[in-house]
Structure 1
Amino acid sequence: MADLPDYYFRVRDNGALVFRVDTENRHRRIEMDPIAAVNIRNGEIRPQGDRVLSETDVEVIRDWMAERREVVAAREMDDIFRAVDHLNLTAHWAQTRATDAELDEVTESLLMAMHDLRSVLVRRKSERLTRDDD
C-alpha cells in the first residue's frame, strides 16, 4: 500500500473536519478517526468529543490552515482543486443535511461519476508506478 498521510482534511465551508488516518489495524483497512473541526476564517480548532489534541495534531492543523488560506486566495485558477473540494462538500452534505429524497435523486449519478474517476485515477497511478519501476 502506498504511504498515506497521517491526517486527512475533509474540506467544508470555511474550514474542514480533520481525521487521523490509521492503516495499522488488524483488518488492514484505512480507518479515519475524526479528531477536530476547524474554521479557517477565525482560526478556531474544536476537538471532537472528549478528544485532547496533541501538540503535533495542533501543529499539523495550523500548518494546514495556513496553506488552505493560500489555496483559497488562488482559487480562480484551481478548477481541479475546486472539484476535490466539491466532492468533500458533497460528502459532508450527504452525511449531515441530505434528505432521503435528495439522496435518491443523486446517489446513482454520484456513484457512477466517482467510480469512473476512481477507475481513471487508479489506472493512471498504476501506470506511473509501473513506469517508475522500469
Structure 2
Amino acid sequence: MSQLDGYDVVVVAVDRPVARVLVHNNSERWIDLRCGGDGMIALDYQSDSNLVETMTPLDQAPASCQILGSIKAGNVQMGYALAAAHGAQWLVQNLRELSGLPFRPTPARMYSLTFGELEFPEVPELIAGGDE
C-alpha cells in the first residue's frame, strides 16, 4: 500500500528525485513542478513516460530555485512564481474535470520568463528486441 493511496491528485514540488519518482509511480493524476532561475518545468501524468524518466535522473544533485549568488547580488529570479501559477491552474482544471465541470487541461511545459516557451528534449523511442 502506498502512502499516496486515496488522493485524487498529487502535486510534487520538491528538489528530490526519489520523491518525484515515488509520486510518478504511485499516483494516477499528478503534476511535478520544478524551477530554477527565471524558468520552470511542469510534467504531469499525461507526459510521455520516457520523457519523465529522462528528466528525472536519480543522481540529480539538489539545487536551489535561485541561481547560485543571485540573492546576494540582488537578482532574485521568479521561476518559482511561474511554477506555482502553472501548478495552481493545473490543479483547478483537474478538480473541475474530476467534478464533471467544463475544463481546459494545462499542458506539460518548459518555460523561461526571458526566453519564452522551451522545447522538451527529444527522447528516442527504444524498441525492445528490435533488429538494430
State TM-score, norm by structure 1: 0.29
Q: Of Structure 1 and Structure 2, which has the larger fraction of its residues in helix?
A: 1
Q: RCO higher in 1 or 2 (8 Å CA, sep ≥ 6)? A: 2
State TM-score, norm by structure 2: 0.29
